[in-house]
Amino acid sequence: MDRFQGLIGIVLILGIIILLSRHRSAIKWRTLAVGLALQIGVALLILKWGPGFEALKWFSGLVQGLISFTDQARPSCSVGCSVRTADSCSR
């Protein structure tokens, strides 16, 4: 059951969306199917294919590097100055 938890969640969310839709005939089923197929395809590339997993790990490292820049950031006037940091913002 744990193996299909994500799939059950997707089906449940789509079912709720369809049930709550006022214009079910306006739903573009092809677009919906293509979106789901892309999501499943990317998941299989990452989970079942070694190079796909390594590519995701590499991209994750890039994002973590970007986020680490925020740890080193210093307040600037474009962000806004508080009373305590007014000295560092006088440019």
Residue 45 lies in a domain: yes
Could you read off the pLDDT tens digit of each residue along the chain, which spans 91 residues?
777 888 899 889 989 988 999 998 888 989 989 998 998 899 899 989 999 999 999 999 999 998 888 777 665 555 555 555 555 555 5
Residue 55 lies in a domain: yes
Residue 6's pLDDT is 84
Range of the domain at 61: 9-68
Residue 30 lies in a domain: yes
pTM of the model: 0.55
Residue 86's pLDDT is 52
Domain count, the chain: 1
Residue 76 lies in a domain: no
* Conformation bin of residue 80: beta by default, left when phi > 0, alpha when psi is -120 to 50: left
Residue 47's pLDDT is 87
Check if the beta carbon of residue 52 is closer than 8 Å to that of residue 46. yes
